[in-house]
Amino acid sequence: MVDTLERKENNTQSSILTNSEIRQKYSNRVEINHRHNVASDYTEKIQELDKSFNYSDNCPYYWGEPHLSLLYGTPLYEVASPDQKLALNHLYWAAVYYLTAANEIAATLYNEVTASVLFPLGYETLCHELDFETNQERHHIHAFHHIGNSTEMALLGQIILHDILRQVYKSNGILGRVPLRQLVHKFFAAHWSVSPFLATQFFTMRYIANILLQNKESQYSKYYRDLERRGEFTPIPTAVSRYHLLDEAFHMTTSQFLSQDLPKDFPPPSTYERTILNTQVYLLQQNSLYGISGAIPGGFVGDKPGAMPMVYKLLQSPLFGMSSEETFDWMEKIFCHEHEGFHNTLRFHKRALADLRNALEKDEYLWPVNREMRVMAAAGSIEKAIAANKKALKTFAASVSS
């Protein structure tokens, strides 16, 4: 029995290592991506910007277009003062990059898991790239937390958004909103390390996260280029977004390569391996891409988990200074009635869905429900979002008053 297993393992490794044509084709691509990433200085620029960030120097300016603001398009936004609108623009940047940091914390863990499987199989350059990306992620995370926390303290006198998003997503980004998250993450983390195919498939989730971030970050990058073209002051957070987009282009190439191309170098995945992959992607859709937010532009988890407690605390912070009664009056207007905020997020949703479908359409390992992002697609409804919010707001109000 042991001899049989050893022969099977040796044959599997042999089939992986002797497919020279595929390996040469892909090794060139990996080598080029790694070389260009190492030669770039985008992470170093982010480090410099992080060190020099001072909120008072950046507070008079928008960090992105107005539609990249918390509460944009809501009835409250329409009557907010110019200073409040500016603050909401800054706080949205912080919220976007708190979630980005959570995604990158997860990436640092799974980069190591994947590298530990692939390095013994001869994929040294690819593993060096993963190590290099992990180091980059650590600098990104520090910058996002530093700028976000400094902004919240300056505007609110306390950390509100970061604490709420940490509770909602833990440190797992869009992978963090799954039932029994600790048990599920231990299960999947263990499985990613048991076969070469599964070791590459965290990067299907990372590829999805890359695309979702690009949906917002490309707009910050355009804003950066517009400011530069006009010779106007560029706020540090806007510049961080620009350089992060450029850094992440290398990471996105790695994600696409690992999830879709490298597995062709391996024996075909078993039914069990495909099921593990597709279960995780389905859970990601079901728990992180199941709605649209009226309060957070480009928010695809609806308003119940994070937006409602966030808005509740925000409206009672020094930024708005509302009483509890006023807060719930405005929350009802924000969450339970159609307004431009929902339509703004729906535009994000349509772009993101199209980008994801385009990116995943040739992924032969995904079930159609995942390749076509059907769960996410079904959630793109303002009517459904408002109906869900009406129920959720009653529950939230009861939990606050109890």
Q: What is the pLDDT of residue 3?
A: 41
pLDDT band at 167 (very low <50, low <70, confident <90, very high): confident
Q: What is the pLDDT of residue 22?
A: 56
Q: Is residue 91 pLDDT above 80, yes or no? A: yes
> Looking at the chain, how many residues does it have?
402
- Contact call for residues 61 and 155 (beta carbons, < 8 A): no
Q: What is the pLDDT of residue 9?
A: 41
* C-alpha span between 94 and 150 (Å, rounded): 9
Q: Is residue 245 pLDDT above 50, yes or no? A: yes
Average pLDDT of the residues of the chain: 90
pLDDT in tens, 92-113: 999 999 999 999 998 998 899 9
Q: Which of 255, 259, 289, 268 is nearest to 369 (CA)?
A: 289
Q: What is the pLDDT of residue 184?
A: 56
pLDDT band at 87 (very low <50, low <70, confident <90, very high): very high
- Contact call for residues 144 and 103 (beta carbons, < 8 A): no
Q: What is the pLDDT of residue 182?
A: 56
Residues 6+ apart with CB under 8 A from 15: 266, 267
The pTM of this model reads 0.91
Q: Is residue 309 pLDDT above 90, yes or no? A: yes
* C-alpha span between 345 and 175 (Å, rounded): 21
Q: Quick check: helix, strand or coil at residue 374? A: helix
19 conformational bin, left if phi > 0, alpha if psi -120 to 50, beta if neither: beta
Q: Which of 160, 171, 172, 164 is nearest to 88 (CA)?
A: 160
For the chain, the domains span: 41-401
The pLDDT of 252-262, averaged and rounded, is 96
Q: What is the pLDDT of residue 189?
A: 66
Q: Which of 87-91, 188-192, 262-266 has the highest mean pLDDT?
A: 87-91
pLDDT band at 193 (very low <50, low <70, confident <90, very high): confident
The pLDDT of 258-277, averaged and rounded, is 94
Q: To the nearest whole percent, how much of the chain has pLDDT over 90?
A: 81
Q: What is the pLDDT of residue 183?
A: 54
CATH number of 41-401: 1.10.620.20
